[in-house]
Amino acid sequence: MGKFRRFVDSNGLKELFLHGRAFTWSNERENPTLTKIDRVFVSVDWELDHPDGLLQALSTAISDHLVEAWTCDPNISDPFLRLDVLLRKTAHDLTAWGLRKIGNVKLQIAMANWIILQLDRAMDHRTLSAEERWLRNTLKLTSLGLASLERTIARQRSRIRWLGEGDANTKLFHLVANGRKLRNFIPALQLEDSVITDQNGKEEAFYNAYKELLGTYQAREHTIDLDFLGITPLDLQELDAIYTEEEVYSNP
């Protein structure tokens, strides 16, 4: 905490005022404990560049944990099989949940968050009633489910787009591949006071840099007498062999 305070002081930071809320965290109990654990610090230069900046609190959200869906048979010991079962069950539960929902998902999320925000603001000044707490918790769960549904819909739309336009020898595929190539391309290297742009020069610069890092081979002045230590040598040639299908299924 002392280091943090010295950092704030040395950089001349100031805390932005939070509009609309006095607290940002609650333990969700009948007589809740309210604290302000989220703060925003800015520099003087930032404040001058953003004179109209306004910090407002959003509605508190529930933790994104799908506890009920993320369960499987405890007798399954294979970690890869467990992961497969968990992912399939979660996808099935999300799909089943999504089939029961209708309407504009974004609008429902916005409405739920707005009501939660109003209840959060009321909780800053008084204790919520049992009905208000029930409504707040219900809206949080609904908001979580709607957010999951929204992500699922976005993924499905992305997959449908790829299937519709194709990903094998099509214009879209080549555009994506070229985009990745451009991101991985190194146009120039700066070596001391010179800038290298040709391919051969860049290859030579990388080779010399890694060669210097790895160093050169030198003869050892001392060796270890393994025979004197009595260590039985092991034949590790089988480690280079390719895995067979029988080995994969015989070692769960």
86 and 173 in a single domain? The answer is yes
171 and 130 in a single domain? The answer is yes
Of 159, 183, 207, the last residue of a domain is: 183
162 and 100 in a single domain? The answer is yes
177 and 101 in a single domain? The answer is yes
29 and 105 in a single domain? The answer is no
Pairing relationship of beta strands 18-19 and 55-56 according to DSSP bridges: parallel
Tokens of 34: 């309210």
In terms of Cβ atoms closer than 10 Å to its own Cβ (0-12, 13-18, 19+), residue 222 is exposed
Which segments of the chain have a pLDDT < 50? 63-65, 167
Give the Cα separation of 135 and 158 in Å (integer).
34
Residue 196 CB contacts under 8 Å (≥ 6 apart), including other chains: 188, 189, 190, 202, 205
Is 244 domain-assigned? no
Is 177 domain-assigned? yes
- Expressed as residue numbers, the domain containing 125 is 79-183
Is 27 domain-assigned? yes
103 and 47 in a single domain? The answer is no
Is 36 domain-assigned? yes
Q: What is the pLDDT of residue 64?
A: 47
116 and 37 in a single domain? The answer is no
Q: What is the pLDDT of residue 173?
A: 61
51 and 102 in a single domain? The answer is no
Is 34 domain-assigned? yes
Is 223 domain-assigned? no
Buried b (16+ CB within 10 A) or exposed e, 98-110: beeeeeebeebbe
Domain count along the chain: 2
CA dist 43 to 10, 48, 54, 174, Å?
11, 9, 15, 45
Q: What is the pLDDT of residue 160?
A: 57
Is 218 domain-assigned? no
Is 67 domain-assigned? no
47 and 92 in a single domain? The answer is no
CB neighbours of residue 156 within 10 Å: 12
DSSP code of residue 43: -
111 and 163 in a single domain? The answer is yes
CA dist 39 to 65, 93, 121, Å?
25, 37, 17
Of 183, 200, 234, the last residue of a domain is: 183
99 and 156 in a single domain? The answer is yes
49 and 83 in a single domain? The answer is no
Of 183, 210, 243, the last residue of a domain is: 183
